[in-house]
Amino acid sequence: MTTATAPPPVAGASGASAPRQPGPRRRTLRDLTRGARDTLTACRAAARAASTAFRTARETPSGAPRPRYDTGYRPRSVAVRQHAAAVAELVRAPAALTVPGDVLAGALSAGRPAGGRTLLLAASSVSLYWAGMALNDWADREEDARERPERPVPSGRISAGAALGIAGGLTAAGLGLGALAGGRRVLLRRTLPLAATVWAYDLGLKHTPLGPVAMAAARALDVLHGTGPSPAGPALRAAATVGAHTWALTRLSRHEVNGTAGREPLLSLAATAAVTLAATAGTLRAPERLRPNTASAVVRQASSGPSDTASAVLRHLVGSAARSGHGVAPDGPPATLSAVLRHLVGSAARSGPGIGTDAPRLPGRSIAVTAVTVLTATVYAVTCARAQWAALRDPGAARTRAAVGAGIHALLPLQAALVSRTGSPKLAALLAAVLPQTARLARKVSPT
């Protein structure tokens, strides 16, 4: 008897369903967090392994670290800052703070205000000063390679062609600013001679006996640069004072590398004393009184009197002479010059306010002008003399270079004294106040 085997149930035939097969499990947030943590742990382990392998590769067989290899790559911002610092060192940027005082002293001595055109002339002088510094390093690049290899050009931070290009560009800027300040007349009579002197000193005269004279002439022309289109005569005294200081300073600077100054600091001390006397000459002189029987007294009183003017005095003189003929008028003066002047003074005194016998004082220097002039000149003398005396006792390279740097900084109080002499004590005090900031900047960028 055969047994029939029942076929397997067919899904859907009688409503029964087959059991569901298990599918993939859904990932939860905890699973994702655990996976990210494992990935970070693996990355840290790989980084530590790579760092260990790098340090091991850098070490030499003896255990000492291998020298670093410079690829030359720098971020753009870092490269720009380094190049700007090299250019500032090339042109001795902080030392340019001693330049505008020359222009101000010349302008105020010539009666020009410290206005916009004077500031343009000061900017022109600063450009020419920086041009001279860059040109100096270009001309002395071979000498600096032996004596001062840390300078920008011999160290390779700035190429020789770039230094020459900077000098040319700054010279063009200085000439343009001079023309903008006063036109063709100022350009040809003031700015161009100054630029020519700077280039002549750097390219030919520096290493000759005329070097100190040329540098002194450049500083003196810088003072006259401030006069602009005005006559330069009133500023010649200030120019000669600054030029004398620069002459002695340039002679001393020739020994700042080899340190064989000898008795040169003694000459600098003598020049400092002479310049100090020249800057303060006449500031302590008391104002004089006018004598009523002098022609100058009559003219000054007539021009400043409240009721009688110079023209009225002349009309009175002509009228009295016409009435008196060649003799003596009943109420007029005798026909001699001294008697006429005495009569004018006496008649003006009888007629009321005007030319009186009680003459006022001359417009003497105020106490502020005298005090600021003497104080700034004293600061100049102390700043120079202290460093020069140290160089005289120890004429080495370090002391000599310090004396040269002090002489450059001392230009500020000297200029302040010259500016104060013109009747501008506030501006002079402002110039002298720049000295500490200049000394602070000199610690970062050498002025020599």
Is residue 249 within 8 A of residue 408, CB to CB? The reply is: yes
> Does 336 have pLDDT greater than 70?
no
Sort 189 into a burial class: Cβ within 10 Å, 0-12 / 13-18 / 19+. Answer: middle
Highest mean pLDDT among 52-61, 89-98, 316-325: 89-98
Q: Can you say how many angstroms the Cα of residue 288 is from the centroid of all Cα atoms in its chain?
A: 39
Question: Tokens in use for 254?
Answer: 């020739």
Is residue 290 within 8 A of residue 364, CB to CB? The reply is: no
Between these two residues, 360 and 316, which has the higher pLDDT value? 316
Mean pLDDT (whole number) for 312-338: 42
What is the predicted pLDDT for the residue at 398? 87
Between these two residues, 402 and 5, which has the higher pLDDT value? 402
What is the predicted pLDDT for the residue at 59? 61
pLDDT band at 90 (very low <50, low <70, confident <90, very high): very high
Mean pLDDT (whole number) for 112-124: 94
Average pLDDT of the chain, as a whole number:
78
> Does 279 have pLDDT greater than 70?
yes
Mean pLDDT (whole number) for 252-262: 80
What is the predicted pLDDT for the residue at 192? 96
For residue range 355-377, what is the model confidence (pLDDT) as tens digits? 333 333 334 458 889 999 999 99
CA angle 376, 380, 386 (to 5 degrees): 140
**Integer Cα distance of 448 and 442 in angstroms:** 9
Highest mean pLDDT among 235-249, 260-274, 282-296: 235-249
**Integer Cα distance of 319 and 313 in angstroms:** 10
Highest mean pLDDT among 108-122, 276-290, 348-362: 108-122
Mean pLDDT (whole number) for 303-313: 40
pLDDT band at 241 (very low <50, low <70, confident <90, very high): very high
- CATH number for the segment(s) 81-286+364-442: 1.10.357.140
For residue range 38-78, what is the model confidence (pLDDT) as tens digits? 888 888 888 888 877 777 766 655 555 555 555 555 566 77
pLDDT band at 19 (very low <50, low <70, confident <90, very high): low
Q: Of the ranges 4-13, 89-98, 305-314, which one carries the lowest mean pLDDT score?
A: 305-314
Q: Of the ranges 30-34, 71-75, 383-387, 430-434, which one carries the lowest mean pLDDT score?
A: 71-75
Sort 410 into a burial class: Cβ within 10 Å, 0-12 / 13-18 / 19+. Answer: buried
Is residue 125 within 8 A of residue 194, CB to CB? The reply is: yes
Q: Of the ranges 18-32, 368-382, 423-437, which one carries the lowest mean pLDDT score?
A: 18-32
Neighbours of 339 (CB within 10 A): 13
For residue range 192-209, what is the model confidence (pLDDT) as tens digits? 999 999 999 999 999 899
Domain boundaries, given as residue ranges, for the chain: 81-286+364-442, 295-351
> Does 133 have pLDDT greater than 90?
yes
CA distances for 408 relative to 103, 140, 402, angstroms:
16, 20, 10
CA distances for 163 relative to 79, 134, 139, 171, angstroms:
18, 6, 10, 12
What is the predicted pLDDT for the residue at 37? 81
CA distances for 421 relative to 52, 365, 425, angstroms:
73, 9, 8
